[in-house]
């Protein structure tokens, strides 16, 4: 593999789940990893795993919706690891509810973490990328962007991220920075296990039921998304920008 030797990569929400797999894939390709998560213990576990496999990684406690913390963490990463050339905006949560039960707080919290978080982190990271005329930014949309019952807040944020992806690709392209998005379907993580529990379903039975609707006959695992992120971040993917790649085991 390789390709990212010496480059500094930030993956937000990489304490567990999809983000952790993404950080591990980028580290395996030679990147020096900044592990951002609002749970420092999870971030430290990911960093320790990467280091134990011969990589370079450092953990940071960051809430991506907090602009002051994003700016200060970016500065810390620069001084600890060097200028940032890869950013994967992955941190996210769900606050599902049918419209009539959805609170203003459910709406604002999801918008703040997914949409504002990706905006704040991308704005902070682009400075190094523009300066060095090289960068890779990946955003995390979802098949929910196409509409999903009980997720008016999440689906709206995930659709908005597709607009942000295309716009940043246009603005940053002249600086040799590509911006793309992954849009996963059902991936087996804490997030989807939480959804099963909220629906009063057994997570294993929920997975089986979903698998039967997926053309390849299984649900996704974090590595399925991580390898797509690895492709977007590859130096040889420099003519791939503004794209949204659905990772859902079928069309």
Ligand X SMILES: NC(=O)c1ccc[n+]([C@@H]2O[C@H](COP(=O)([O-])OP(=O)(O)OC[C@H]3O[C@@H](n4cnc5c(N)ncnc54)[C@H](O)[C@@H]3O)[C@@H](O)[C@H]2O)c1
Provide the Cα torsion 202, 206, 212, 214; round to 10°.
-150
Within residues 112-171, the interface with ligand X by CB under 6 A covers 113, 117, 140, 142
82 to 8, 10, 75, 125, 175: CA distances (angstroms): 7, 11, 9, 12, 19
- Contact call for residue 96 and ligand X (CB under 6 A): no
- Minimum Å gap between C-beta 66 and ligand X is 8
Q: Which residues are catalytic?
A: 154
Residue closer to ligand X (CB basis): 12 or 126: 12
140 phi and psi angles, rounded to 5 deg: -115, 105
The span from the first CA to the last CA of the chain, in angstroms, equals 28
Structure tokens at 123: 């704005």
Nearest in space to 127 (alpha carbons), one of 67, 89, 75:
75
Within residues 212-251, the interface with ligand X by CB under 6 A covers none
Say if CB 242 and CB 165 are below 8 A apart.
Answer: yes
Residue closer to ligand X (CB basis): 34 or 134: 34
Site string for ligand X, 172-211 (x = CB under 6 A): ------------x-xx-xxxx-------------------
- Minimum Å gap between C-beta 198 and ligand X is 13
Tokens 């246009």 correspond to what residue? 170
Say if CB 161 and CB 141 are below 8 A apart.
Answer: yes
- Contact call for residue 34 and ligand X (CB under 6 A): no
Which of 42, 73, 77, 172 is close enough to bind ligand X by CB under 6 A? 42
Stretch that binds ligand X, among 32-40, 77-85, 130-138, 228-236 (CB under 6 A): 32-40
Which of 17, 55, 160, 249 is close enough to bind ligand X by CB under 6 A? 17
Say if CB 89 and CB 12 are below 8 A apart.
Answer: yes
- Contact call for residue 65 and ligand X (CB under 6 A): yes
Structure tokens at 185: 């379907």
Residues lying near ligand X in the complex (CB under 6 A) = 12-13, 15-19, 37-39, 42, 62-65, 90-93, 113, 117, 140, 142, 184, 186-187, 189-192
């Amino acid at each position: 593999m390789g390709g990212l030797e010496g480059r500094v990569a930030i993956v937000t929400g990489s304490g567990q789940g999809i983000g952790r797999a993404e950080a591990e894939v980028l580290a395996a390709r030679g990147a020096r990893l900044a592990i951002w998560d609002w749970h420092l213990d999870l971030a430290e576990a990911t960093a320790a795993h990467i280091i134990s496999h011969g990589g370079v990684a450092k953990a940071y406690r960051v809430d991506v919706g907090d602009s002051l913390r994003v700016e200060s963490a970016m500065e810390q990463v620069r001084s600890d690891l060097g200028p940032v050339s890869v950013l994967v905006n992955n941190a996210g949560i769900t606050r599902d509810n049918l419209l009539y039960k959805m609170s203003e707080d459910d709406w604002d919290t999801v918008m703040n973490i997914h949409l504002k978080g990706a905006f704040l982190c991308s704005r902070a990271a682009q400075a190094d990328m523009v300066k060095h005329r090289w960068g890779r930014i990946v955003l995390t949309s979802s098949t929910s962007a196409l509409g999903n019952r009980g997720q008016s807040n999440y689906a709206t944020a995930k659709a908005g991220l597709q607009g942000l992806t295309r716009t940043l690709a246009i603005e940053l392209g002249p600086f040799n920075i590509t911006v793309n998005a992954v849009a996963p379907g059902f991936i087996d993580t804490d997030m989807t296990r939480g959804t099963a529990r909220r629906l009063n379903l057994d997570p294993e039975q929920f997975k089986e039921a979903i698998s039967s609707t997926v053309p390849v006959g299984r649900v996704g695992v974090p590595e399925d998304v991580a390898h797509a992120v690895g492709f977007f971040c590859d130096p040889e993917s420099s003519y791939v920008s503004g794209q949204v790649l659905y990772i859902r085991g079928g069309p």
